[in-house]
A and B are shown apart, each in its own frame.
Chain A
Amino acid sequence: MALLEVNDLTVSFYTQEGVVTAVDNLSYTIERGEKFGVVGESGAGKSVTALSLLRLIESPGEIESGEILLDGDNLLEMTTEEIRQIRGNRIGMIFQDAQTALNPVYTVGEQISEAIRHHLEYDSEDARERSIELLDQVGIPDAENRYSDYPHEFSGGMQQRAVIAMALSCDPDVLIADEPTTALDVTTEAKILSLLEELTDEFDTAIQLITHDLGVVAELCDRVMVMYAGQAVEKAPVEELYYDPKHPYTVGLMSSIPRVGDDSDRLRTIPGAMPDLIDTPPGCSFHPRCPYAEEACTRTEPGMITTGDGANGSQQSARCLEYTNDLQHGLGFDVTIDDDLSERVRGEQHE
């Protein structure tokens, strides 16, 4: 049994303009200790998915249907009291911007300790000791003294380390990291990523890493899910995703990565913008931006099709009509891999 199993999750926001389906029939699984990446543009539903796992979707948002199984127990059927026992205890969360995720008026140490006291029922002295230990583990120098510092006395990188310590404080089974390095500079980002990798390996914690940075995914993850307009469009082990992407959107994302030595004048982008989630286009939601779209794509909504077995039995699947043989011309991209092992994907229009 998978550690975390999300089945047909649908989350909607009832806004004044209409119903926004932010997450649409999403299914995925995370195994114990696995590093699972979720990538996609802003607004693809990555963060909403993350908050759903903790049932922290706030009004006007609502989890409409589906199930979220943690070790087989459905989180969506739990009472408020039961879900509180899961939050911070079995599922920890790292926020994007540590500065705003920390309460400015309490010490960093207190903010770590309070979860420990609450979930593990430590007394304040033991909780304090454990917090100092955690701060030390995430690489805060002089943790004993830093315990009673306030968040504004920490640098950005240290704040993010403190937030990681907070998320790990009760030794969770799953760690959700929502763009944990977006707010940091590149060198700090690298340090934080290796820290995350080290700690999740050490505690055998599964991690759901949300990012729009494919470089971060390549560095850290075992398996990746690409999201577009609230749906998963491709799921693959990380190697397969880079060397053999199946979905045109994944290809678009890859070719948008600027490369050193590229002689083109402009940055590559995927033309157009993500559809309005109130009024998603009929058929495949990506067809207005897809260079390979055919008439069938505007009518038939593709399902998630398994395209092949990857390494170590992990499956690759994509949501494209190509794999149900409904496309007349097929997908005309090919992947070239440079000598330096960085990959290059080139799109080729077939009109």
Chain B
Amino acid sequence: MSLQKFILKRILASVPVLFGVSVVTFALMHITPGDIVDQLVAANPNVPSHEAARLRREFGLDQPVWVQYLDWMQGVLTGDFGEVYSSSRDVSAVVLARLPETIALGLFGWVFAILIAIPGGIYAAVNKDQLGDTVSRFVALSGISIPNFWLGLMLMAVFAVQLDWFPTLDPQTSLLSPSMLWWLILPGVTIGTAAAANMMRIMRTSMAEELNKEYVTAARAKGLPERTVILKHVLRNSLISVTTVAAFLTASIVAGSVVVETVFGWPGLGRELIDAVHLREINLILAITLFTGFFIVLANLLADIVYALLDPRIRDEY
């Protein structure tokens, strides 16, 4: 099977997954009491009850759940994700406006995690059971244990408030301007820390395991410098198991964005999702969860492609 065919197959396989995600989200939103109209009425108690009933009819919320779901599905299949009730804006427009912010944050967190985890893991594995390894394991364990909202608040308190090195408010420049980096650092580090720590532990374990294999002795017996042995022979083999974890960690970065964006006032999808849940903006919630689900499927697909690039034995199976 060629790689193209494999990718196509995986994308098709993601359809039932996304369908499941939409059903579960839809059901959960209907189990929780209250809807968008209740929220609007709560904000403005003067709305008469017949007006509320009229709104429900207009939004289609008076229909049975399955009819509502089918209506929604019909829209999605034609590329229409519905509208945000409270502002009458298109859901797709809102998502597209917020998306770049979240992608920038997630990407920064990712790059940060990899830059810390890979060299850190290599260092720890090469110096296994020595002081440097012990210190790095302690740091990694702390990174996994510290909740990201607390880490975010602490980073803000120390580096933004006390030392005044970084800005704290919503970013005031366009996403592509270089000074954006200053706004990205604190939330990016917060979102990437747990992933970095997890990945570093896996990197260390898998590298330490690879170092015991005979091909390493064989490479040394060839007279290759230790640097080549580690960075050429051992690293590539160790990265295979790191890739698996990296795909999982994508999900944790996406989930983390909800909390971190709220803590840092970052105008991304995560914060939008929180607001949408508060207002029971069901169309927006569904669109964001679906998008997140799709993104995680995509990350797993990418991991599979990276596998194939790293390991010729896997390549042959496609």
Contacts and interface: CB of A to CB of B under 8 A. Distances in A.
Nearest to B219: A103
B237 interface: yes
Given A97-B214, A100-B213, A100-B214, A89 B313 contact: no
Nearest to B129: A59
Contacts of B213: 100
Interface string A113-146: 0110011000000000000000000000000000
B48 interface: no
A101 B218 contact: yes
B16 interface: no
Given A97-B214, A104-B311, A88 B221 contact: yes
A92 B70 CA distance: 71
B218 A93 contact: yes
B217 A56 contact: yes
A56 B313 contact: no
A102 B218 contact: yes
Interface stretch (A64-72, A79-87, A257-265, A328-336): A79-87
Contacts of A95: 214, 217-218, 221
Contacts of A88: 221-224
A150 interface: yes
B15 to A, nearest CB: 33
Nearest to B216: A103
A115 B224 CA distance: 7
Contacts, number: 73
Contacts of B215: 100-104
Given A56-B220, A150-B312, A101 B225 contact: no
A152 B313 contact: yes
Interface in A24-68: 51, 54, 56
A273 interface: no
Given A95-B214, A97-B214, A152-B313, A103 B233 contact: yes
A203 interface: no
B223 A105 contact: no
A85 B316 CA distance: 37
B263 interface: no
B222 A87 contact: yes
A100 B228 CA distance: 19
Contacts of A100: 213-215
B236 interface: yes
Contacts of B224: 84, 88, 114-115, 118
Contacts of A85: 223
Contacts of A152: 312-313, 316
Nearest to A119: B223
Nearest to A117: B224
B316 to A, nearest CB: 8
A150 B313 contact: yes
A336 to B, nearest CB: 42
A166 interface: yes
Interface string B219-242: 111111100100001001100000
Nearest to B234: A103
A11 to B, nearest CB: 16
A131 to B, nearest CB: 13
B310 A105 contact: yes
A121 to B, nearest CB: 13
Nearest to B212: A58
A105 B221 contact: no
Nearest to B233: A103
B222 A115 contact: yes
Residue of A89, A106, A119, A163 contacting most chain B CB atoms (<10 Å):
A106
Contacts of B313: 104, 150, 152
Contacts of A103: 215, 218-219, 233, 237
B233 A166 contact: no
Interface in B185-236: 213-215, 217-225, 228, 233, 236
Interface of B: 213-215, 217-225, 228, 233, 236-237, 310-313, 316
13 contacts: A56-B221, A84-B223, A100-B215, A103-B219, A104-B237, A104-B312, A104-B313, A105-B311, A106-B233, A114-B224, A118-B222, A118-B224, A166-B218
Task: Please give me the 3 A-B residue pairs with the lowest Cβ-Cβ distance, nearest first.
Answer: A87-B223, A88-B223, A88-B222
Given A88-B224, A104-B313, 11 more contacts: A56-B220, A88-B222, A100-B214, A101-B218, A103-B215, A104-B215, A105-B310, A105-B311, A106-B233, A115-B223, A166-B218
